[in-house]
Structure 1
Amino acid sequence: MFALIFFSVITFLLLIVYLLVYLNTKQFKLNINQLGHYKYCLVLGAGLEKDGKPSDILMDRVSTGVCLFNNNQVDLLIMSGTRRRGYDEPGAMQAAAIAQGVPDSAILLDPQGISTLDSCVNFKQKFAHESLVIITQPFHLPRSILLARKLGLDAYGTAAGIYHFSWYKRAFWYIREFFALPYNFIKLALYSH
């Protein structure tokens, strides 16, 4: 009984935290029609399939970035993800964007984008005074915008929405996001500017 009450309280608190993050970042979330022009578009990694190609969720992000590029809303796509032996997320993202017609000269790679926070820190280290638009799914966008803005970046976000996912995939991602928030707040607190 105690475990159930404890779990319920934790879940309720996480829900409140997520809602606060959502409300504090809502003004910085723009749909494609609201976006102005940005030099940089940060496309966040989301995993590869066993064959080394982008997962469906990652392809959704890359394709949304390509759409912004084709609409002349962004000049450069930054593909941020993990690169290690036998695993090259930014390289797979780059290949997918090139296959959709983006020139190689319009793509920058961030192979140290191990997490959302790392991707934002890496951007800050190279382009601290530049505005950017972040591409990720709706469940992940509030945290991404919050982390970037807490780092002092002039960050906006737009949700990837070209692909349609099953309700159980979306439910899994939202539940995962609830538990990722406290972890990311701890990482942000430990990050030394």
Structure 2
Amino acid sequence: MKKIIFFCFTAFLFFFEIFIFTNIWIFLSAYSVMYSFEEIEEIPTSEVVVIFGARVHGNKILSDALMDRADSAIDIYKAKKAKKIYVSGDTRSEFYNEVETTVHYLQKRGIPNIDILQDPGGLDTYDSLHRAKYTYNISSAILATQEFHLPRALFLCRSFDIKCSGVIADRHTYIKSKYFYARESLANIKAMYELIIDEIPTYSL
């Protein structure tokens, strides 16, 4: 019985150390290229500004998080810091389409179609950035997303050899912010695992 307890305790310590190390590593690797919106003039110019998918309501209304990402991307584009806007997200259902809903939002705000790149295969952050590199041949990007999400997104972007910087897109106070931060700490572990096994996105082409 003591051996079992010792083994379980040792295993717990091992995985806890991996958990802590991974989260610290990801944050520290991204911190130097994270910008607030007030620092927009300091952001290096890139090929695209990326809008990652997030919840939409009835294929008509963006969630607060997605709206903040889209509005930040629009401002970055209009500041001539990115030539195009790369919209990635979940499009698996005709009744739920993050990309189409976001594109309509951009169009209504004067973004020309020629400057919008649509990625229908961005089921998660890993897939969005893997496809940005290997499907759309993007070599530089600005990531416009929430502060809790930005370190992981930048870490993955750099891992795919995309020159990148990130803008904190928090323009609302999010009701579930504590939950988002807690979930992100687990998502960091998933991201590291996906990189280690060189996972192929669900939609790889």
- Shared fold per TM-score greater than 0.5: yes
Conservation of the 8 A alpha-carbon contact between 2:144 and 2:169:
yes
Can you give the 5+ residue segments of structure 1 that lack an aligned partner in the other structure?
Answer: none
Return the offset for 1:17: 2.7
1:27 aligns with 2:32: yes
The share of aligned pairs that are identical, in percent, is: 24
CA separation in 2, counterparts of 1:27 and 1:122?
24
CA separation in 2, counterparts of 1:54 and 1:8?
41
Structural mapping, 1:157-168, within 5 Å: 157-166=166-175
Q: Deviations over 1:28-76 (max 9, x none)?
A: 2233232132221111111212454221111110110011112111110
CA separation in 2, counterparts of 1:7 and 1:50?
43
CA separation in 2, counterparts of 1:183 and 1:154?
22
Match of 2:90 among 61, 82, 102: 82
Corresponding residue number in structure 2 for 1:63: 71
Instruction: Pick the structure with greater CA Rg.
Output: 2
In 2 relative to 1, CA 189–9 (structure 1 residues): closer, same or farther, beyond 3 Å? closer
1:40 aligns with 2:29: no
CA separation in 2, counterparts of 1:192 and 1:43?
22
Q: Deviations over 1:110-139 (max 9, x none)?
A: 000011010111110145462111111000
State the TM-score, normalized to the length of structure 2.
0.81
Match of 2:116 among 107, 116, 131: 107
Q: Deviations over 1:63-115 (max 9, x none)?
A: 10011112111110010001112221111111111122212221110000011
Alignment-mate amino acid for residue 93 of structure 1? T
In 2 relative to 1, CA 164–187 (structure 1 residues): closer, same or farther, beyond 3 Å? same
Structure 1 vs Structure 2 CA RMSD: 2.5
> Aligned pairs, how many?
189
State the TM-score, normalized to the length of structure 1.
0.86
Corresponding residue number in structure 2 for 1:175: 182
Alignment-mate amino acid for residue 186 of structure 1? Y
1:18 aligns with 2:28: no
Match of 2:142 among 114, 124, 133: 133
Alignment-mate amino acid for residue 28 of structure 1? V
In 2 relative to 1, CA 21–51 (structure 1 residues): closer, same or farther, beyond 3 Å? same
